[in-house]
Amino acid sequence: MIFDTHAHYYDDAFDADREALLSSLPERGVALVVCPGCDLESSRQSIALSERYPFLYAAAGYHPENLEGVSLAHVDQIRALCGHEKVVAVGEIGLDYYWVKTPEGRAFSRDMFDAQLSLAEELDLPAIVHDRDAHKDCLDMVRAHPKARGVFHCYSGSLEDAKVLVDRGWMLSFTGNITFQNARRAPEILKWLPLDRLMLETDAPYMAPEPWRGQRCDSTMIARSAETVAQLRGLTRDEVEHITLENGKKFFGIAG
């Protein structure tokens, strides 16, 4: 059974068939899904979906690309959403220097990341971290929050950075891009990574694995990523799915 630890099912890519798709997931081998918000509205949408589907859980947070018109005071609204019984993490939060270019924009995104990591510490919730082209500053932020725990989703850093995160108790999560022929860092990291620090995700509707690259992704496609991990680690796909299911349940505090 699959645990998709990161999928955005509120995205408009699912508007045409969201209900049918989500209703079909359990019978297609998907046990659990976490749906992280990217701003206040999508966090609310994630919570609404979690109320409709027992296997789906939510996270609330501000993504670094979604900070226009936002102030640090908005963190209080995220705090309120995190009180919902189906919210299991603060996220998706972090830094993105690919899209956020200006010094002012990057500085504010660091302030928001800092504030939301502090919130995760305060609430004793894990954080779901987005890191794109900001590896050093993300690691510095983790170091500044020694009581925070979390996962770097769609991990794209180096093996050296992975070792720093694992040493600090953090998890790493991987998407369908590990199946791409041009995947470079991921195979090396996946061969080294302690299995109890591994989670799998789709980042749906994005990051579909081969042979569906470029198409809309959904949680069932994790099976293809699990096959890639299995090949790298000398395991079966079922073993990888079981390991990542149990890791995700423990990480997010989901019983049963």
What CATH number should be reported for the domain holding residue 57? 3.20.20.140
pLDDT greater than 80 at residue 256: no
Q: Answer yes or no: is pLDDT of 59 > 90.
A: yes
Q: Is the pTM of this model over 0.85?
A: yes
d(CA 25, CA 2): 10
CA distance 61 to 74: 10
Greatest Cα pair distance in the chain: 49
Please give the pLDDT value at position 184: 86
Q: Beta-strand (E) ranges in the chain?
A: 2-4, 30-36, 56-60, 87-96, 127-132, 150-152, 171-174, 198-200
Give the angle subtended at the CA of 181 by the CAs of 176 and 186, to the nearest 5°: 60
Band (166; pLDDT cuts 50, 70, 90): very high
Q: Please report, rounded to a whole number, the percentage of residues in the chain having pLDDT higher than 70.
A: 100
Over residues 196-213, the mean pLDDT reads 97
pLDDT interval class at 60 (50, 70, 90): very high
pLDDT in tens, 32-56: 999 999 999 999 999 999 999 999 9
Q: Is the pLDDT of residue 235 over 90?
A: yes
The number of distinct structural domains making up the chain is 1
Tokens 């296997």 found at = 55
What percent of the chain has a predicted confidence (pLDDT) above 90? 98
Instruction: Tell me what the pLDDT averaged over the chain comes to.
Output: 97
CA distances from 30 to 5, 201, 226 (A): 11, 12, 13
Angle, helices 159-167 vs 135-144, to 10°: value is 10
Q: Which of 1, 45, 56, 59 is nearest to 23 (CA)?
A: 56
The confidence score (pLDDT) of residue 137 equals 97
Q: Which domain holds residue 102?
A: 2-252
Best CA proximity match to 2, nearest among 197, 246, 194, 178: 246
What is each CA distance from 212 to 8, 217, 222, 234, in whole angstroms? 18, 8, 12, 24
